[in-house]
Amino acid sequence: MKLAVILIAATLLLPAHGWALIERSVPFYVFDGTSYDVLFMLPATYFVGLGEERDGYTEATFCDLDGYVRTEDVSAVDYEPLVKYPETGSVTLKKTVSSVWLYSDSSLSNVVARVSASDEIFLYGESATDGVYYVRVGSGSFAERGYLSGEAVEVTYPDQNDIAVAPSRPDYVPPEESGEEQSDPLSAAVRVILIVSVTVPAFLLAFLLSRKT
C-alpha cells in the first residue's frame, strides 16, 4: 500500500509531457492573459518540464517557476534527466555594497524590496536586458523574486550540466558491471519441476515392483 502511494505521488510530480533540453540560452516567458513576456533567459544544458502546447508556446516548469517556452526553442527528450535544474547559480553583493534594491521589472523602475549582503540570493538567469538578473531572495513562503542590477553584485553562473539520464533503480547494478552472474528464477523452477517429474515416477515404479516380488 505504501509503495502504491509513493508511486502515485511520484507520478503526480512528473511533468505532463516529459522533459525538454535547453540546448542554448532561450527565453522563459510568463503569460498575462494577453501577451507573453520574457522573464529571464534559461541556462543552456538544463531542462524544463513540459505541459500543454498552444499557439507556438508550451507550458514549462523551471525550478520552482511555472511559465512558457517557445515550442521551437527546446528539444523534447525521451528520458528523465538526472539533474534537471541548476543548483549552484548565485548572486552576492560586492564587498563595498551593504544593500541593493530588488525590482519587479527588468527596466529597474519599480522597487519591491531591499536586499542586504546577508540575504541568500538564488540566480534564475540573466534578463533580456544586459546586466540585469532575475533572482529569488530567501526561500519558502518568505521568498521574494525580482530583478537586480549587475552594477553592485557579483554573479556565479551554474556549472554546465552533464545531461545524464536518471536511473530508474539507483541501487541496481547490472550483472555485467558487478561481475556477478544473474540468476534466472524461472530456469531454477523449471529445473525443480523436471527433477520432481523424473524422480517421483521412478520411486513409484520401484515401489510397485517390490510389492509384486
For the cut 50, the answer to whether the pLDDT of residue 9 exceeds it is no
For the cut 80, the answer to whether the pLDDT of residue 135 exceeds it is yes
For the cut 60, the answer to whether the pLDDT of residue 23 exceeds it is yes
The C-alpha atoms of residue 178 and residue 125 are separated, in whole angstroms, by 41
Average model confidence (pLDDT) across the chain: 82
CA-to-CA separations, 151 to 77, 96, 107, 130, 145, in angstroms, rounded: 38, 12, 14, 11, 18
CATH number of 90-156: 2.30.30.40
Alpha-carbon torsion (138, 143, 145, 147), positive or negative: negative
For the cut 80, the answer to whether the pLDDT of residue 154 exceeds it is yes
Q: Which three cell numbers stand for residue 197?
A: 517429474
DSSP lists the bridge partners of residue 196 as none
- For residue 17, give the nearest of 40, 55, 38, 47 by alpha carbon: 47
User: 14-18, 54-58, 92-96, 103-107: which has the minimum mean pLDDT?
Assistant: 14-18
For the cut 90, the answer to whether the pLDDT of residue 41 exceeds it is yes
User: 36-40, 79-83, 86-90, 180-184: which has the minimum mean pLDDT?
Assistant: 180-184
User: Read out DSSP for 149-209?
Assistant: EGGGEEEEPPPPP--PBPPSSTT---HHHHTPPPP-HHHHHHHHHHHHHHHHHHHHHHHHH
Instruction: Look at residue 69 in the predicted model and tell me its pLDDT.
Output: 98
Class in CATH terms, 2-77: mainly beta
**Residues 68-119: pLDDT tens digits?**
999 999 999 999 999 999 988 899 999 999 999 999 999 999 999 999 999 9
For the cut 90, the answer to whether the pLDDT of residue 166 exceeds it is no
The DSSP 8-state label assigned to residue 43 in this structure reads: P
Question: Mean pLDDT over residues 145-164, rounded?
Answer: 91
Buried b (16+ CB within 10 A) or exposed e, 39-50: bbbbbebbbbbb
CA-to-CA separations, 108 to 117, 145, 148, 188, in angstroms, rounded: 19, 13, 8, 71
HSE-up (13 A, CA, CB side) for residue 124: 29
Instruction: Look at residue 129 in the predicted model and tell me its pLDDT.
Output: 92
